Amino acid sequence: MKCPTCDTDENVIKNGLRETKKGTIQRYYCKSCGNSFSDSKSPRTEYPENVILYTLEQYNRGYPAKVAKKRTGKNTSTRLHKAQYTHG
């Protein structure tokens, strides 16, 4: 299992189970970056490619995440934090 934040498969351990409407989901913990995650993608956190690209474009121009949120209606600040951790 690879960590979606730091993209390593070392130091990733199982971290319990989570009950959801769709059933039981295995949780994982990355010792390298401290991220907790599951192997299933939540549809609530996946954004269309154009929203992600627009948000990154605004970030690269120096605008805060609020600007992209007003335009897209999506709270993309988490994606920006992950991009900063991964690339900055």
Contacts of 48 (CB under 8 A, 6+ apart): none
The DSSP result for 43-57, as a single string, is TTT---HHHHHHHHH
Taking phi first (over 0 means left), then psi (-120 to 50 degrees means alpha), and beta for anything else, what does residue 73 get? left
pLDDT at 82: 57
Output the six-digit token pair for 46. Answer: 């996946």
pTM for the model stands at 0.47
Give 22-76 pLDDT, tens digit per residue: 788 899 999 999 999 987 765 555 677 787 788 788 888 888 777 777 777 777 6
